[in-house]
Every structure is written in C-alpha cells, then in structure tokens.
C-alpha cells in the first residue's frame, strides 16, 4: 500500500478537526450565541494553522527540502497543494455559516448587525459622532509615494487599502493609501437602544470607517476602500545550543514575530483585481495564498458579542465546578470546607490519593496545596514545572510566597510554550526576584510534564508529596479544559518525580523510574511494549484490548504498532480530539481499530491510556503526552499509573467508557480520512458524555 493509503496527512487532519468545530456553529441544538463562539474559535484555529503549520511547510519548501517527512509520504509542496485547497473550502464555509445561518438567526432573536446601507438618520448621526470622537483621532493614513513607502504590516492586523483621485495639499497625485487600524479599537460596536430602537444592535468598525474614510483625505475623492489582513509566519528561530541565556535570546526574538514571512492575504471580495494584485506583489504571495472574503476579515473579533448580549436563553446554562468530595463517604474534603480548623491537605493526601477531574471538579485543591506548602513551616522544598499559567496566577503567587519565606523553590519554566513566551518570561523574572531557582528545562526538549513535588518534615523524617496532571497549571483554562490530576504521597511515585526534577536541574543521566514513564526515554518504548503485549495476548487467545484518549496521534511507530496489534485481533478504541494520522477500519490493516473525536462545550484535553493486560492486571495511565512524535521523542513528558482500584474504575469510566457511549458530540473517523457525525437512532437515547458529567457532579455536590 502507498503511504497515503495507510496514513492521513497531519495538517489535513488538523483542518478536519477545525471543520468539526465549525459544525458546532451550524448545529441548531447548540445555543445560538454559543454557535457564534464556535465560529470564532474555528476562525482563531485557522489563524494558528496558517501561522504555524502551513508556515512550517513553506519554510521547508523555501529551504529546498523535498523530503517526505510525514507518514503519508507527501513532500512539502504536495502537502501545501492539498492543504490550500481544503483551507479555501473551509474558509468559504465559515463565511457561509456566518452570513447565511448565524446573521439571519441572530436577527430573529433581536441581535442585529446593521449594514451601513441600511442605517437610518439617527444611526448615521450616531456613527458619525462615534467616528469623530473615538476613531478618527487614532488613525494614521499613509499615502503611498516615494516619501511614504508601503508600511510595515503586522501579523493579523486590520488595514484598509484606499484608492484616490485628485491632489493633496501639496499638489501631488497619490493614487493609493493604506489605513492601519489600531488593535485597541473594538471591531464590533454596540449602538445604544435609544438610537436604533433595538436592544442588541451592532455595527462593524469596518462599516464605520467605510462610511467616513473621506474625512481622512480632505480635498481628494475616495474611489474605493477595502479591508485586508496578512497572516505571517510566527515560528521563532533560536539556536539553543549557541545562546548563553535562553530567556534573553527568546525575548529578543519575540519582537520580530509580528513581521515574519507572509503566508496568507485576506481581502474583501469586492476589492478590484489591480489592487489585489498590488497587495499580493507587496507581500510576495501567489494567488493560492489569497482568500477573498465576504464579511469582516477577522471573524474572531466577534467573540466579544456574546458578552455584550444579556440573553441567558441563548447561552449554555451556567456551570460552576463542584467541590471535590472524599471518596466513598462523599463528603466535602475538610480543607475545602471553610471550617476554622480543617484537617490539613497533607493529612488527606497521606491517608489516600486524591483524583481530580476538571472542569467538573474545582482546581482549588491544587492551588490550596501550594498555598499551604508556602505557609507551612514544615515544608522545606517545592519543585514545579510551569508550561502555561496565565496572568495573575495564584500558582505563581504561592511559589513567590514560598521563596520569600525561605523555602527551597525550584521552578522549571518552559519559555517556549507557543504564544505564551512573553508571559512565561515575566513569570520567570518574578520568581527569580522572589529568590526561587528558575531553570528553563533542557536544550532541545520542551518541558511539557505537569508535576509538583513537595518535601515536608514530619516526625523527624522527610515525606514527599506530588501532583501529576494531564493539563496546565492555569487557573482559567481549568474551567473549560477537561483534565485529570493526581495528588499522592505514594513513596514510589513521589521518588520518581523527585528523580525527574533532579535530572531536569542537574542534567544527569536518565533516571531509573519504578512507576512513571518518562519521555523522551521510557514513555515511547513503554507504549510500544504494552501495545505489543496486547498483540501477543490476542494471538494466544487471551483478552486483549486498548482504549486510549488523547489530543493527537501522529507518531508512526506507534501507529504501525497499533496496526500490527489490530491484525493480531486486539480490539482498539481511540478517542482522539484533534490530529489523527491513523486510518481505522482499513481491511487487512486496521479492521479492529475505531477512532472517534469528541468536540463540545469543553475542550477535551485528557490523556488517559488503558491496556487490558490479559484481564488480570489491567493498566491505566494518565499523562501529559499525546501520541505525537514531538511529545514522545522531543519533550519532557510523564505518564503515571493509577494504582488505587476505586480511582482506576472511576477514571476508566469518566475518561473513557462514557466517551465511547457518546452519540451527541461524537464524530467517527472513516478510512478515507473524513469524519462522520454520530446521530442517535430511533432506538437510542441521546447521550453526551460532557452533559452527563455536568449533571453527575452537580448532583453529587448537592
């Protein structure tokens, strides 16, 4: 078989994921304002696709590379051709969804986007005043002539190209001008009800500027005004082995990110051909990089609209994470109960592991753990990995407090977390100023593992505690990313975590671990060995099954091992939210493999792997790692086994089994690389795993 018959192109699979997000914007069963949000998310995802994924292929092409680096066997040029065609179709579908579905349906609910050709006199007057007071003072139009060359256009910034006739104040004929629009200006503006008569009426900033662009060129005639936006390559280029201080080198490189090579030009669909050609030439792009759109060139800015519309009936019902409960007794953990003298968190963890399921359960125990450790005089040392934390992070604040209190605090800060580099640099500087030891991981390997290690003196001996999770220590994203976390005092697991931290800071040899699997050393081989073991069991006639949930599956050796296991008779269910390069259900190759994707209200982010292991000693791991080559071979990652039988059963049910029952937010991957959305049959009860868990945890808390 040709490689393309065995494997799906990685970037093409990413576009398919974005199509599933767009389908939620088209789904009448989703609340209307949430549908608008899903459209915005799909648009933001497409921006990143061009900035990162397509940009990387163009880098390879410009370097003359014709190597077939992907499992599907395509060269960079062949991949670009495939992806450009698919991307054009997807962008067209986004605007069709916006113009022909969402705008009419929103209008029926009294949420209107008023076109400038339909403004009444009161609306025109209000818009004119708004332009004069809020827009005109911050605009800097640039007439194009030898003294005013074409401006330097930032990545994804809104601009207008304006065609002109007549002479300026100096008697010059300037046929064109460019108007940059400051990012500080809102792209969607709400009109007061007293003006339009509607409670939720909006105008686009582009309409406001179109209506009054002549005010920028007094004495001249504007013959055309057209919005455009350029998407650039945002990949950073740092030779880590040649720099002395990674933070300084990265900070210097960030300033150039907004001006990388142009990858895509978006322009209004009514822009004349000669102006389109002029822009393409300026940005050194060809026609396949041109996207002519009917509507705002940045639909993502519409994400602000739902917050400006007080219509709870058009949004998801309010949801708050529940307070974690003690196992079996199902009582609120006392350190979260608000009592004056609660049993301390360390005693709880010593008594029994605590498993957390976000966002259904609060992230508070993790924050409380660090806050308690910062204040506790018995705590001697805290070590932690930080990948994404967000601004004003209580996690970072607790580490600062601990460092200022004289505890040994070590933070392994990953400076290269994409698009969070600047924030992570600031967090690293804060921690250094507080007296913490800050390191940036290992040259050439991103530190993506999610680990906390705490050393506490108890009755004359040192006791270790750990938290390991599947998601970031980010107090905001834990409210809408699904993740698992384990709080444990298990001596073997905590010692493994300790050894990994020693390796990250001292850069010694790979540690011998007794419980954890660690990338890039034992995780990849550990997965291959377990897949092989299931294949051996199947051939011997023993029970053999693999169920795994992750964000992406692309690593070729793992895919080939799964193919071989399928041919041996192993039943394999994979729940892969995004990229999946494996082709399921191909006769003779992957007959027993099924792949589904769950896309819904929350971003599915768990990584959880189950191996039946003869049915006698099944294994269940939660992990920070997807089954991607970058995660398994190019990053610091961990996978931790769930040893407690009750927690094992709970995580298997909540992380895997429920998702295999889903028939409301599930798409099944077909052998041809397309996804088919599942619909409950007349004999089936509609079932959403996410909604079930919301209801389950709300009921448990009450």
Do 545 and 496 belong to one domain? no
Q: Which of 159, 212, 448, 453 is catalytic?
A: 448
- The predicted pLDDT at position 256 comes to 59
Do 92 and 197 belong to one domain? no
Domain's final residue, options 50, 75, 108: 108
Do 392 and 434 belong to one domain? yes
Is residue 665 a part of any domain in this protein?
A: yes
Do 303 and 155 belong to one domain? yes
User: What stretches in the chain show pLDDT beneath 70?
Assistant: 64-69, 146-147, 236-257, 325-343, 416-421, 700-702
Burial environment of residue 88 by CB neighbours within 10 A (0 to 12, 13 to 18, 19 or more): middle
Do 573 and 676 belong to one domain? yes
Q: Which of 100, 75, 230, 226 is nearest to 160 (CA)?
A: 226
What's the pLDDT tens digit per position in 146-199?
Answer: 667 888 899 999 999 999 988 777 777 888 999 999 999 999 999 999 999 999
294 is catalytic: no
What's the pLDDT tens digit per position in 311-362?
Answer: 999 999 998 898 876 555 455 555 555 554 445 889 999 999 999 999 999 9
- What angle, 0 to 180 degrees and rounded to 10, lies between the N-to-C axes of helices 205-212 and 121-130? 90
- The predicted pLDDT at position 257 comes to 58
Do 64 and 44 belong to one domain? yes
What's the pLDDT tens digit per position in 460-496?
Answer: 999 999 999 999 999 889 999 999 999 999 999 999 9
The total number of structural domains that make up the chain: 4
Q: Which two tokens stand for residue 476?
A: 């905001």
Owner of token pair 């398919």: 16
Q: Which helix (H) or strand (E) holds 351?
A: helix 345-351
Spell out where 446-538 has E strands. 446-447, 451-458, 461-469, 481-488, 517-519
Do 43 and 86 belong to one domain? yes
- The predicted pLDDT at position 329 comes to 46
Is residue 325 a part of any domain in this protein?
A: no
CATH number at residue 542: 3.30.870.10
Domain's final residue, options 63, 82, 108: 108
Is residue 664 a part of any domain in this protein?
A: yes
Determine the structural domain holding residue 686 and report its residue range. Answer: 518-701
Is residue 260 a part of any domain in this protein?
A: yes
Do 653 and 539 belong to one domain? yes
Is residue 333 a part of any domain in this protein?
A: no
Write down the pTM of the prediction: 0.92
Do 596 and 494 belong to one domain? no
Task: Tell me the average pLDDT of the chain.
Answer: 90
- The predicted pLDDT at position 206 comes to 93
Do 149 and 37 belong to one domain? no
- The predicted pLDDT at position 365 comes to 92
CATH number at residue 302: 3.30.1840.10
Cis peptide bond N-terminal to 452, omega within 30: no
Residue 669 to residue 596: CA distance in whole angstroms: 6
Is residue 328 a part of any domain in this protein?
A: no
Is residue 369 a part of any domain in this protein?
A: yes
CATH number at residue 16: 1.20.58.310
Q: Which residues pair with 354 in a beta bridge?
A: 487
Do 502 and 541 belong to one domain? no
Domain's final residue, options 512, 529, 552: 512
Do 48 and 174 belong to one domain? no
């Amino acid at each position: 078989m040709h490689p393309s018959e065995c494997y799906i192109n990685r970037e093409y699979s990413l576009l398919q994921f974005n199509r599933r997000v767009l389908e939620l914007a088209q789904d009448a069963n989703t609340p209307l304002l949430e549908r608008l949000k899903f459209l915005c998310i799909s648009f933001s995802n497409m921006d990143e696709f061009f900035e990162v994924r397509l940009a990387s292929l163009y880098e390879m092409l410009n370097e003359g590379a014709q190597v077939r680096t992907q499992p599907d066997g395509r060269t960079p040029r062949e991949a670009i051709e495939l992806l450009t065609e698919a991307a054009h179709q997807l962008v067209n579908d986004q605007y069709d969804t916006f113009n022909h579905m969402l705008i009419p349906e929103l209008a029926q609910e009294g949420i209107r986007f008023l076109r400038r050709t339909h403004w009444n006199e009161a609306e025109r007057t209000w818009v004119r005043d708004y332009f004069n007071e809020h827009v005109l003072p911050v605009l800097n139009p640039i007439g194009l002539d030898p003294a005013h060359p074409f401006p330097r256009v930032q990545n994804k910034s809104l601009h207008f190209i304006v065609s002109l006739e007549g002479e300026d104040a100096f008697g010059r004929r300037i046929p064109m001008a460019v108007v940059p629009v400051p990012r500080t200006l809102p792209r969607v503006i709400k009109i007061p009800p007293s003006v339009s008569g509607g409670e939720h009426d909006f105008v686009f900033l582009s309409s406001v500027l179109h209506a009054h662009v002549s005010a920028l060129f007094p004495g001249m005639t504007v013959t055309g005004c057209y919005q455009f936006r350029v998407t650039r390559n945002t990949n950073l280029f740092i030779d880590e082995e040649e720099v002395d201080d990674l933070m300084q080198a990265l900070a210097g490189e960030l300033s150039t990110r907004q001006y990388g090579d142009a990858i895509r030009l978006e322009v209004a669909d009514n822009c004349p051909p000669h102006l389109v050609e002029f822009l393409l030439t300026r940005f050194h792009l060809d026609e396949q990089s041109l996207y002519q759109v009917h509507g705002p060139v940045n639909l993502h800015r519409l994400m602000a609209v739902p917050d400006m519309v007080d219509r709870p009936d058009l949004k998801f019902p309010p949801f708050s994470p529940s307070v974690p409960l003690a196992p079996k007794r199902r009582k609120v953990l006392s350190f979260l109960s608000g009592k004056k003298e609660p049993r301390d968190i360390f005693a709880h963890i010593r008594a029994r592991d605590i498993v957390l399921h976000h966002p259904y359960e609060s992230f508070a125990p993790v924050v409380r753990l660090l806050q308690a450790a910062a204040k506790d005089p018995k705590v001697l040392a805290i070590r932690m990995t930080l990948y994404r934390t967000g601004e004003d992070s209580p996690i970072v604040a607790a580490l600062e407090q601990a460092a200022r209190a004289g505890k040994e605090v070590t933070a392994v800060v990953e400076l290269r977390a994409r698009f969070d580099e600047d924030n992570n640099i600031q967090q690293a500087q804060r921690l250094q100023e507080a007296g913490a030891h800050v390191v940036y991981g290992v040259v050439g390997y991103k530190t993506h593992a999610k680990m906390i290690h705490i050393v506490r003196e108890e009755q004359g001996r040192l006791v270790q505690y750990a938290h390991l999770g599947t998601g970031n220590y980010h107090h905001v994203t834990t409210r809408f990313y699904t993740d698992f976390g384990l709080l444990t005092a298990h001596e073997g697991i905590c010692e493994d975590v300790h050894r990994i931290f020693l390796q990250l800071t001292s850069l010694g040899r790979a540690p011998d671990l007794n419980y954890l699997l660690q990338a890039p050393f034992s995780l990849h081989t550990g997965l291959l060995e377990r897949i092989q073991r299931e294949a051996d069991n199947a051939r011997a006639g023993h029970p053999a099954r693999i169920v795994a949930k992750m964000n992406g599956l692309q690593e070729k050796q793992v895919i080939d091992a799964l193919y071989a296991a399928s041919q041996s008779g192993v039943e394999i269910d994979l729940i892969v939210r995004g990229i999946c390069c494996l082709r399921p259900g191909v006769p003779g190759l992957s007959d027993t493999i099924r792949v589904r994707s769950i896309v819904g209200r929350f971003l599915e982010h768990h990584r959880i792997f189950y191996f039946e292991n003869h049915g006698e000693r099944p294994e269940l791991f939660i992990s920070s790692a997807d089954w991607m080559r970058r995660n398994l071979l190019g990053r610091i990652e961990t996978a931790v086994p769930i040893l407690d039988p009750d927690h094992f059963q709970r995580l298997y049910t909540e992380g895997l089994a429920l998702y295999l029952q889903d028939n409301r937010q599930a798409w099944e991957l077909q052998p041809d690389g397309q996804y088919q959305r599942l619909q409950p049959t007349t004999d089936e009860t509609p079932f959403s795993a996410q909604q079930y868990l919301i209801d389950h945890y709300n009921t448990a808390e009450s």
